Structure 1
Amino acid sequence: MKAAVVGLGVEGIKATKALLDYGWKVYATDLQTEIDLEELKISISDAKISTYDEKINISTNNLTIDLGYLDECEIDSSDAIVISPSLCNTKIAKKALSSGKLLSDILDKHKEIFTIGITGTNGKTTTSLILKEILENAGKKILIGGNAGGGFEGYYDLILKAEKGNYDIIIIEVCDMTLEFCDYAFNFDLVGLTNIGNDHIDVHGSIENYKNSLLNFSKNKTTFIDKNQIYLKEFKESNQINELVEYDESNYDLKLFGKFNRLNAGLATAIAKVLDVEDFIIKNTLGNFEPVEGRLKEFKLNDSKIYIGKTDNSDAVKSILNEKYFYATFIGTPRSNEEHRFEILDTVASHNPEIIVLFPGLEDTVEFGLYRLKSIGYEGRIEIANNLDEIISLLAEYSHEDAIFIGGNGQKNIIEIQDRLELLTKNCN
């Protein structure tokens, strides 16, 4: 079987890798030439590489890649077509849709399996993994995955795995930017909505547009929503939602910090109860659930409690800073073109920590962050940490204060800090 992968962003690369792992031949293409292909592990000695007119062709036994252009004949001759979710409304996507050759149509076993979608701005990964553990402890065989940018192997990996395995339930973390794609590619029975917050506004245009996208995604589905959600009334008034179920914070013991995580646990609990999972299974699972890598974890260093996790939008940061006062706040910076993410610094400054430390997150935009803090009139101390060693040095310096928070953008960097802190706290404590 041969597949054509159109668009080599994170999801396209993950799809290409998954298809190759399952023995497919792949034609992959992207109109950009500066694409990171490292994850595909192409052997330079085995590959044929040619360039002309700023176009690049890479060819191996089972993989052909065109960068800077696409070959429509290669796409038309493929047995299945993979479209990057970000290209969902483009001409090439509409053509693939009309052909009936999208991978989600060619391989459709996943559409026969009971499917739960977890979406919203923050808390999707934690909620999905809590629910997975609850259902597995109840004896169900679970397939879990979702948005490749969120840490999973991508939506197409789910489709391929479902075709080969026997699963009772699929749990999918649905990124807010891929709602339309996922609604087409999967048959959702239940939808869990974590929250509606300030992220990807450059894509949605406004919170109102984002909310409307979620309402549309919830059509004909049983949907779970926080009982205090500000848009609850509009969801209640929608006559197209199959059933609306309200949830609240979990009252069970958790190893997770904060009200937001009690809400994540509450959503997973509400879904599990609708699926007739016994209460003692839910309670025991929640009591033993460990924080997710890259998400909020707590460390004790000298006199200080350090809270660290990816919080890549202002609402995520606000939910943590509302819990307690932090003497120092370390923030990983966003990409230069993500203006809305710099609002994180406005939120941090409004909570008036003694010190704000900026470090490179998704990009080294520390100077942008420094300018932002000065322009909004933050009067505290600002430090710059250019690398992991400098971050750890400052943490040691402040570790006799009550509480420190490390967050913002750059999950990879935040995981590296978590790993170093784990070693450091074991040695010190």
Structure 2
Amino acid sequence: MRTAVIGLGVEGIKAIKSLLENDWDVYATDLKTDINLEDLEISYFDVNFFTENDYITISNDNLIIDLGFNDMDTIFTCDAIVLSPSLWNTQLAKGVIESGKHISDMFTDYKNIFTIGITGTNGKTTTISMLKEILENSGKKVLIGGNAGGGFNGYCDILLKAEKENYDIILVEVCDMTLAYCDYFFDFDIIGITNIGNDHMDVHGSIENYKNSLIEFFKGKTVFVDNSLKEFNQFSDVLNYNQYKNDLKVVGEFNKLNAGLASEIAKYLELDDEIINKTLKNFEAIEGRLKKFRLNDSEIFIGKTDNSNAVKSLLDEKYFYAIFIGTPRVNEEHRFDILNVVSEYNPEVIVLFPGLDDTIDYALYRLNSIGYDGRIEIANNLDEIIRFVAEYSHENSIFIGGNGQQAIIEIQERLEALSQVSD
């Protein structure tokens, strides 16, 4: 079969990979030409390139990629169509749905599997991972995926895997930017929301708009909501959860809420309390998320905290002598608000390092404009970050966070090695 993939952001690239791995032919297209195709692992010795004006075509035996234009005739002669979530509210999406060729309308067996979606600003990946371990320890066969930016295979991959194998439960990480898309793509039995925070405001426009999108998404579903989010108690099928009270290896008050959500959903599914508690007690923090290391005299807390609410939740718990922040992309103005929050807690030192992009100049401008009067240091690479960590490791506490999951993971790996040596 042949599938068209329209829109080559993270989700689109993941869809191409999944389709090719399932021996489909793919026509992929994006109106932009500056698309990063590295994750497709294309061998450039085996492909043909064609350029004309601002258009680029790349092709091999089972993949054609058009950049700079969409060949609509080719798209609608394909057997199925995968559409980027970012295009969901466009006229093109309407045409795809009316054609009956959207992939979620053509292959529907996965919609018969009990499906749980976890959404919210922070904590989605951790909550899903906790719930997955509980379910598997209870003997369930679990299919997991969703928000490709969160590290999972994308939404399309869930559909393709469910076509090939039988599963008891599907767990979907639902990015807050893809609520309407996922509402169409999946038939959710349960939704859990972790929290509502200041992220992706370039898409939502405001917190109120984000809340309204959630309200629309929740309609007709059983929803688990943090007890403090009173605005969602208007729904008849809302069930509340609180912080998990038993022992956890993971650190942070917010992880107690993540565990509370996973635990309440598991209890709703009538899973054994002993399995739930034992699983959560032994749950290890996943790569890139908050971990704690000991180096010399210092406790070092490190994890991806890519918006101001995520940072504030940790800084409320503890004072940090030095705070290291990975910088966001240049167009993500709302994520620079992290620096406003960090400045309010007045650490002795703020260390800036390139996170998602090298936007250190923008970060310096923000810190100067809000009047932060502590030391500001710049770490341009991993070695320089570690050198600053070593310098401050005789202070009580250090926090490393901000944007750039891959950068955070690399720092975690180096710190783990150093902490083992120091032991």
Alpha-carbon separation, structure 2, partners of 1:39 and 1:352: 40
Match of 1:354 in 2: 348
What is the aligned partner in structure 1 of residue 47 from structure 2?
47
The answer to whether 1:428 aligns with 2:406 is: no
Amino acid at match of 1:280: E
CA distance in 1, matches of 2:79, 2:253: 48
Equivalent position SS for 2:49: strand
Matches within 5 A, 1:26-425: 26-229=26-229, 232=230, 234-238=231-235, 241=236, 243-425=237-419
Instruction: Work out the CA distance in 1 between the residues paired with 2:333 and 2:387.
Output: 29
Superposed CA deviations along residues 272-302 of structure 1, whole A, max 9, x for unmatched, are 0000011100110011100010000111101
Counterpart Cα distance in 2 of 1:262 and 1:47: 50
Task: Give the Cα–Cα distance (whole angstroms) in 2 for the partners of residues 293 and 322 of structure 1.
Answer: 23
Query: Residues 110-138 of structure 1: CA distance to partner in whole angstroms, max 9, x if unpaired?
Result: 10000000000100000000000001111
Which residue in the other structure is 1:13 paired with? 13
Two-structure CA RMSD over aligned residues (Å) = 0.8
Q: For the residues of structure 2 that align with 1:390 and 1:48, how far apart are their CA atoms?
A: 41
How far, CA to CA, are the matches of 1:39 and 1:357 in structure 2?
A: 30
Whole-angstrom distance in 1 between the partners of 2:59 and 2:234: 54
Higher mean C-alpha deviation, range 310-319 or range 417-426: 417-426
1:76-113 superposed Cα distances (whole Å, 9 cap, x missing partner)? 11010000001101121111011111111111111000
- In structure 2, distance between residues paired with 1:38 and 1:395: 32
Determine helix, strand or coil for the equivalent of 1:334: coil
Cα distance in 2 for residues equivalent to 1:318 and 1:288: 26
The one-letter code of the counterpart of 1:381 is R
Shift of 1:423: 1.0
- Amino acid in structure 2 at the alignment position of 1:317: V
CA distance in structure 2 between the aligned counterparts of 1:343 and 1:208, rounded to whole angstroms: 18
Q: How many percent identity over aligned positions?
A: 65
**In 2, distance between residues paired with 1:91 and 1:290?**
44
Kindly state the Cα deviation for residue 237 of structure 1 after the two structures are TM-superposed.
2.1
TM-score by length of 1: 0.98
Structure 1 segments, 4+ long, off by >6 Å, are: none
Structure 2 gaps of 5+ residues are: none
Q: Does the residue aligned with 2:317 lie in a helix, a strand or coil?
A: coil
Deviations 1:292-348 (A, max 9, x none): 100001111011010000000000000010111101000001111111101000000
1:215-254: CA deviations, max 9, x gaps?
Answer: 111111100001112xx1x32224xx5x110000001110
Structure 2 distance, partners of 1:291, 1:28, is: 36
- For 2:33 and 2:363, how far apart are their aligned partners in 1? 30
Q: Which runs of 5+ in 1 are unaligned?
A: none
* 2:24 alignment partner in structure 1: 24
SS at match of 2:233: helix
Separation in 2, partners of 1:353, 1:44: 49
State TM-score, norm by structure 2: 0.99
Instruction: Give the counterpart letter for 1:237 in structure 2.
Output: Q
Q: How many residues align?
A: 423
The one-letter amino acid paired with 1:291 is A
